[in-house]
Structures are given as structure tokens and as C-alpha cells.
Amino acid sequence: MALALADVAAEVVLVAGGGRAILLQIANPAIGHAVARHSDFASRPLDRLKATITYLYALVYGTPDEVRLVRRRVNAAHGPVRQEASAGEAGEAGGGGSGRSEPGYSAFDPELQLWVTATLYETATDLYQRIFGELDGASADRLYREYEVIGTALQLPPGRWPADRSAFQRYWKEQLAGLAVDEESRRVATDLLYPRSPRWLRTLMPLVRLTTAGLLPAELRRAYGMPWGPRRRRRFELWMRAVRLVYPRLPVSWRFALRDRYLAGLHREVRDGDRDAGPDPQAGPA
């Protein structure tokens, strides 16, 4: 029987791909600049992680009321994330022109929403197959079709998700070829991979950095200036081998524990009445 998104999305090990997905996203300069100027994950990394994961869990497992709540929150957060593109001015001698152009961006831009969704899908399926083995064709096709819900919940227009996995691979290769890591993106990556607090999180970050670097395409790893070589590659391979050996044998209740915890919190919020009432999630940006 083909696997469904609901069979896969709760695996807590997929959180290990979060760094890779974010670095892929911010290698698009428009997203990198938007995150640099509007996101607070550097100062609140765990809060931002919880919000993102709760959003994904709600879309896959939540009730209609829970989906409305998380969509309303995402739209409220996305509303201010916009800037018009500007052409850099060369500046006259002694003048103050920067010579830099700034990409325009809006969190409601369908092309950016598509790229964000694509990075989540590709990262999750890549990591899942590294641990559990290659998906059969029916499962791969079903997961791909069902992942569209992540994008449409972000207001990706229906039909914008590539028609099938072959179309997605063409899109993915085209996008990878056009990525450009700049100073803004590198600064965001540094904030992500070298958090200032809490202390216990900092102790885990060497492993997070190794995992993120190992999962990234080589070109992006180099563009971000992430250290790599034969020794680090062997460490990454040994780490992934250990995860493949141990993780699938853990009780499902352990593997799905993060989903159950975050959904329980969301259930309580809906039951007790959400205090963060915002715009209609279908309404889009103001």
C-alpha cells in the first residue's frame, strides 16, 4: 500500500533537514533579504522552529479550526514582509551611491512560495529515503501529490505546483542553477548555525552543522563557506549510517512524539479560544 503524507510527516528525524531547507530557501536572494530583515529566528530559534513545525503538523493532521488558526498566524506574519526592487546607483566621485541593487520580495509572491514548498518537499523526501530506503513509485507519487497542500496553504495558486515528479525535477534543477548566495544569505546562515542561546542548543550545533553541510548540494556548501573535506564527509556518512540503523527501530510513539506534543498544544489553544485573531486566512495580503 502506498505511503501517504500522514505516514511520513510525523517522523521527528525530518526536523534534522530543517537547516538544509532554510539554506536552500535563502540562497534565493529575495528570500534571503526578506529573512534577514523581517525574521527573528536568530534571537528566538526554538520559538521559530516550533511555529514552523506546528504549522506543518496542523496542515497534515489538524482539524479545520486548527488549520485556520495556523494559516491566520502565518498570514499575519507574512503581511509586512515586502519590499520593492531597487536598482543600485553607481554614485558619483565622492558621492554615497552603493552600486548595489536590492531584490524585491513579498511573502505572498507565488514564485517564492513555490520555492519554499519545493525545498520542504525535496528535503523531507531526500532525508526520509536516506533513512528508510528508496520509496516505491506509488508512494513517491502519492507523497508528491499530497505535498501540494503545504503550498496552497501558503496561498500558492492551485495548479502552480509542478504537475508530476518529472516536472518537479526539471523545476528543481532550474532553480538550483539560478541560486546566488550573497552576504545577506551568509549572515542569516551564520545566525542559524551559530545561535547565541540557549546554551544547551549550542552544544548540539556541531552535529547540526555537520548534518546540514552533508545534506546540501556541494555548490551551495561551498557558496556558504561551510567546511568540508574527506574527514568531515566520513563523519557525516558514519552519522547517517548510525541513524539508519537505530532510528527506524525506535517505537513509533517516540518517533511521533514531537507531533503529538505540538498538536496537543494546538488543540488546547483552539479549545480555549485563540487570542491571536487576525485576518481571514483566505483574504491574502492587505
As a whole number of angstroms, the longest Cα–Cα distance in the chain is 70
Residue 38 C-beta-side C-alpha neighbours within 13 Å: 18
Residue 118 C-beta-side C-alpha neighbours within 13 Å: 26
* pLDDT at position 87: 61
For residue 24, name the pLDDT band (cuts at 50, 70, 90).
very high
Residue 125, burial from CB neighbour count under 10 angstroms (0-12, 13-18, 19+): buried
Query: How distant, in Å, are the alpha carbons of 64, 100, 169 from that of 118?
Result: 24, 29, 10
Structural domain count, the chain: 1
Examine residue 90 and state whether it is found in any structural domain, yes or no: no
pTM of the model: 0.87
Examine residue 125 and state whether it is found in any structural domain, yes or no: yes
Examine residue 143 and state whether it is found in any structural domain, yes or no: yes
Compute the distance between CA of residue 210 and CA of residue 236 in angstroms, rounded to an integer: 6
Examine residue 89 and state whether it is found in any structural domain, yes or no: no
Examine residue 92 and state whether it is found in any structural domain, yes or no: no
Examine residue 285 and state whether it is found in any structural domain, yes or no: no
Domain of residue 42 covers 5-82+105-267
Compute the distance between CA of residue 25 and CA of residue 108 in angstroms, rounded to an integer: 15
φ and ψ of 86, to 5 deg:
-135, 140
* pLDDT at position 262: 95
What's the pLDDT tens digit per position in 177-235?
999 999 999 999 998 899 887 788 889 999 999 999 999 999 999 999 999 999 999 99
**Is residue 20 scored above 80 in pLDDT?**
yes
Compute the distance between CA of residue 286 and CA of residue 177 in angstroms, rounded to an integer: 33
